[in-house]
Amino acid sequence: MAEAVREFTAIGTRPIRPDGVEKVTGKANFGADFSLPGMLYGKVLRSPYAHARVKGIDLSEAKAMEGVFSVITSADFPKENPSDMSCNILAREKVLYHGHALAAVAARSQSIAEEAINSIKVEYEVLQPVLSADAALAEDAPLVDENLRTNGDESFMPSNVAATVHYERGDVDKGFEKADYIVEEEYRIPSAHQGYIEPHACVADVNEKGRASVWCCTQGAFEVRNYISEVLQKKISDIKVTPSEIGGGFGGKTVVYVEPVAVRLSELAGRPVKMVMNREEVFRATGPCSATVCRVKVGANKDGIITAAKAWMAYEAGAFPGSPVTPGCMSIFAPYDLKNFVIDGLDVLVNKPKVAAYRAPGAPQSMHAMESAVDELARKLNMDPIDLRLKNAADEGTEAPYGPKYPAIGLVECLKAAKVHPNYVNKPAKDVGRGVAVGFWFNIGMQSSAEIWVAPNGAVTIMEGSPDIGGSRASMCLMAAETLGIPYDSINAVIGDTESTGFCNLTGGSRTTFATGLAVVRACEDVIAECKRRAAMTWDLDTEQVDWENGFAVPRPGVNIEAEPLSFAELAKTAGRTGGPLVGRASVNAQGAGACFSVNWTDVTVDRDTGKVDVQAFTAVQDAGRAIHPSYVEGQMQGGAVQGIGWALNEEYIYDDNGVLENASFLDYRIPVASDVPMIDCQIVEVPNPSHPYGVRGVGETPIVAPLAATANAVREVLGFRINDLPMSPPRVLEALDNAS
């Protein structure tokens, strides 16, 4: 792997993560590991129908059962103006997907809870389910929600379309008139699971005063606090959330399913309640990503300049509005400098679980369509696919399709790095196909807080509130080491609960190293300012006469004093005499996260007898702005690549005609394992983000965007024809081969 350029002492090094020992020795506590004395076990009753009206629920037998302490339905949630999240957590008048939660019990044991759930009698009026965007958009389609109106539609007619999105620039018809080559295709991608290994789990304990303590695995403890407050209409000051270690989230743990239920069950039972989803519940009742239909038309002149592009896409939202169709629309043409385009998107309700975020939500699906079409253009033009992209690449000053001009971005640098990379220069062997694609994600900043506490021996504790999913504690420690000028090993980072640290938005959107990292750097600068003040007092100088250099307070050049520099450790040791413990704090609403681009290519073979696609090689080039801990940047690139490969080749939610998921386990829903993929080779490109003191860009989401199309383009190269729909699983490849012959 290529080494990132080092300009710093700590940043760019690869030390062991602070939480590493506990993780590899099994001592780390995850969501289901927490227990309390007297704890009850919560279980959920789920709908056996994908679409049905609830005519009545009889809870009497469950309530009378020995060992059952509380039984709830949506009637036990606040009744006025329930949010979509509330109605998703416990259904009201209708169940809207197979597995939709309807009631819950808390009992002394899991078996009693299970028995109580089975004793609940529900009378349903079964309705016809709507199971695809095509079906939802049909003129006579049943309505998932009779009260839904399309946002902005003045006819106010009921619809399964929650919202429409539209972007356009220039004159697309004239643009196509100038095109010498046009590609127009439709691409379909089914829903996929985020693939987090740890199911959702929590313990809730509500005391006599109504104060709730919640321990759970989540990407954002403060968001969980907000959601519980919103769903149960409790004051946020009456809710404390402690995040556990997290066994993967990838967007799937940015929302809640069991936490408000556990809180309400505990409130009624007067005892703590633990709820752990099993794998089947995770598959049936939590949000996967959207299934999509994307139609793309792209034209280019004979020189390879794209003259016009047009896209239409429908994103399944599940049973409630809110698919990521807008970011899908915003990202589809983001890598290109286009003068003429039209983009239309629809947010479509279907009788499936409400979708949740999945790494770069919305972008992999739409960009798979565009990157597949661009690959076909390159073939028509007989042009290297990287060269075609370089001819049309967005760069600093290019107007993004969603409006603003890009600040400094690294797409061109990534494409140039890819073009000369040995893995690209070396051409694939016979019967091996190569595919190229580019990826993009916006990245976000948002709010973060951090505190720095300095022990008398100079050791530093960072307290912050961003759950560590991908090694962020190590990155925080590295940025603190660099800023303070002290060794990495003298710093520890702790993830606080909602009452021991300031507000932090969730770990998602590739924001943590950027935004929480910015808060950590600012908190360190706060400590440095105090160190300089203490040193100035020690030397009878003004604070302005003191500098901070590499972990030492030193008199500023020109200040006439004979004084030995004071080290950070010395200042910490004498802090009691000079004004008390050294602490620093900062809160930020970080702006200017800086978009991230990538280039991926992969070499694949296809077994024409079995239809199995084997990935022989995969290379990812990505702009990280500045890689704080290169191993964890590479880890993000590798993880995203493998998830993208899985989505391209095997992963899909398969529903029967009644809307029942047929592959609700990791045996039948196949994510790649280590033996399925080659080493993912990474090259980090560094085009620093001017909005961060160390140039950081988020890196967590872009890696999943390009692999879908890169893999599809490679398979197209081997087969000689394209399979437009994903996944390119053995049955689909065999069917395509049969059709082709």
Partner 1 sequence: MARVVFPSNLMNYTNGISEVEVSCSTFRELVRQLNNLYPGIGDDLRKSAVAIDGQIYQDAWFEKIGPTSEVFFMQRIEGG
What would the 3-class secondary structure string for 87-106 be?
A: HHHCCCCEECCCCCEEEEEE
Q: How far is the CB of 590 from partner 1 (least distance, A)?
A: 9
Q: How far is the CB of 365 from partner 1 (least distance, A)?
A: 13
Backbone angles phi, psi at 533, to 5 degrees: -65, -40
Among 162, 165, 228, 604, binds partner 1 (CB under 8 A): 165
User: Binding residues for partner 1, how many (CB under 8 A)?
Assistant: 47
What SS3 class is residue 62? Answer: helix
Among 222, 250, 320, 618, binds partner 1 (CB under 8 A): 250
Q: Dihedral of CA 725/731/734/740: which sign?
A: negative
What are the distances in angstroms from CA 179 to CA 371, 494, 581? 18, 57, 69
Q: How far is the CB of 530 from partner 1 (least distance, A)?
A: 27
> For residues 164 and 226, which CB has a smaller minimum distance to partner 1 in the complex?
164
Q: Does 357 bind partner 1 (CB under 8 A)?
A: yes
Q: Does 470 bind partner 1 (CB under 8 A)?
A: no
Among 9, 164, 616, 631, binds partner 1 (CB under 8 A): 164
Binding span for partner 1 by CB under 8 A among 410-418, 424-432, 491-499, 587-595: 587-595
Q: Write out the two tokens for 696.
A: 């950081």
How far, in Å, CA of 332 to CA of 335, rounded?
8
Asked if 385 and 375 touch (Cβ cutoff 8 Å), the reply is yes
> What is the x/- site pattern for partner 1, positions 305-334, by CB under 8 A?
-------------------x-xx--x----
Q: Write out the two tokens for 218.
A: 């989540």
Among 340, 600, 691, 729, binds partner 1 (CB under 8 A): 691
Asked if 532 and 546 touch (Cβ cutoff 8 Å), the reply is yes
Binding span for partner 1 by CB under 8 A among 93-101, 259-267, 298-306, 444-452: 444-452
HSE (CB half, 13 Å, CA atoms) of 467?
A: 32
Q: Does 644 bind partner 1 (CB under 8 A)?
A: no
Q: Does 81 bind partner 1 (CB under 8 A)?
A: no
Residues 115-154 that bind partner 1 (CB under 8 A): 151-152, 154
Residues 383-412 that bind partner 1 (CB under 8 A): 402-407
> For residues 82 and 362, which CB has a smaller minimum distance to partner 1 in the complex?
362
What SS3 class is residue 542? Answer: coil
Binding span for partner 1 by CB under 8 A among 43-51, 78-86, 435-443, 678-686: 435-443
What would the 3-class secondary structure string for 145-206 be?
A: CCCCECCCCCCCCECCEEEEEEEEECCHHHHHHCCCEEEEEEEEECCCCCCCCCCCEEEEEE
Task: Name the residue among 346, 347, 293 with its Cα closest to residue 318.
Answer: 347
How far, in Å, CA of 216 to CA of 224, rounded?
9
Q: Does 669 bind partner 1 (CB under 8 A)?
A: no
Total number of residues shown for the chain: 741
> For residues 41 and 196, which CB has a smaller minimum distance to partner 1 in the complex?
196
> What is the x/- site pattern for partner 1, positions 209-228, by CB under 8 A?
--------------------
Q: Does 444 bind partner 1 (CB under 8 A)?
A: yes
> For residues 346 and 566, which CB has a smaller minimum distance to partner 1 in the complex?
346
Backbone angles phi, psi at 329, to 5 degrees: -65, -40
> For residues 404 and 558, which CB has a smaller minimum distance to partner 1 in the complex?
404
Q: Which residues of this protein are in contact with partner 1, per CB under 8 A?
A: 151-152, 154, 163-167, 194, 249-252, 254, 324, 326-327, 330, 357-361, 402-407, 441-447, 508-511, 589, 591-593, 691, 700-701
